[in-house]
Amino acid sequence: MRVLVTGGAGFIGHHLIEHLLRETDWEIVCLDRLDTSGNLNRLAEVLAGRPDGARVTFYYHDLRASLSEQAHRQLGQIDRIFHLAAATHVDRSIVCPMEFVQDNVVATCNLLDYARAIPSLQQMIYFSTDEVFGPCPTGAYAEWDRYHSGNPYAATKAGAEELCLAYANTYKLPVFITHCMNVFGERQHPEKFIPSTIRNIRDGQTVTVHANADKTQAGSRFYIHARNVASALLFLCEHGTSGEKYNIVGEQEIDNLSLAQIIATVMQMPLRYELVDFHSTRPGHDLRYALDGTRMTALGWKLPVNMMNALQRTVQWSLLHPQWL
């Protein structure tokens, strides 16, 4: 088996590569353009001292451009594609929506055209987000519920999903879609909530927590460690069906203020925080997201890493590796 991981130098992508090395004997091709999200130092750290690291090769390409015949030859036979490459930061999507159309819609279309030209392809997994559904005041969204994107990032991920379904229907491409919630773990980009909270607590700075309009309720999420996400993606290689969608969900909901308080407790430092009206300060952001994980549970998938234990380890690891903060 020879697999392609797009965005493999990114946060979730490098955790997936590490998991595939540990759990399979597959050859892995990492494709990345090394921009804001991609960082080869992630791969360097997880591959250091590993003899099986020789199974990983790197290919530089910007998917906003189509893959040439030379790229096809250099990438070689590919049996499975994990498409994780994407622009992900909501704030930047609000400022530069066309950049996200190029990165998430055009790039996905170029990859789909590449994929349908591969005779050996068994499967392609498109990694999407819970944000395509928009805010979820109560309950949780199932895989085929209606979409209501609240920001350009979410809209471009939804558009890429529709392209995947179109290629599955039109060209019989063996592609399916996953939705995931807020992922955390080692080597995450410092702009994200958990690493930025660790840094601010360490430095005695105020942690900004987005809340409702009257600042009485902090936003909440179902956080999930990147190792759990990698486990789910590998599980779906055996259990996923072309043209379908699957929600990958953390085991418990937690509001961001409680999360910051837990991080401060682990660090044994005081928490300085400010609740901020998320509507006025971050248009296009939602107070609560929630996905229904029933389908994955019914297939037999179980979270291998406990969220609270993973959070504690992530905090401690980050303090020992301040270059990632």
Residue numbers annotated as active site: 130-131, 153
Q: Are strands 2-6 and 80-83 parallel, antiparallel or unpaired?
A: parallel
**The Cα angle at residue 267 between residues 266 and 270, in degrees rounded to 5:** 110
HSE, CB side, 13 Å, CA atoms: give it for residue 54.
Answer: 2
Nearest CA-CA partner of 190 in 15, 30, 36: 36
Query: Helix/strand/coil (H, E, C) string of 212-270?
Result: CCCCCCECEECCEEHHHHHHHHHHHHHHCCCCCEEEECCCCCEEHHHHHHHHHHHHCCC
CA–CA separation, 124 and 318 (whole Å): 33
| Rounded Cα distance, 287 and 272, in Å | 21
Query: Encoding tokens for residue 323?
Result: 């270059």
Packing angle of the helix pair 226-239, 11-23 (nearest 10 deg): 60
- Give the SS3 label for residue 297: helix
Token look-up 């979409």 returns 147
User: By C-alpha distance, which of 201, 206, 302 is closest to 249?
Assistant: 302
Q: Which amino acid is at 284?
A: G
Between CA 60 and CA 40 the distance in angstroms is 11
Extract the tokens encoding 2: 């020879």
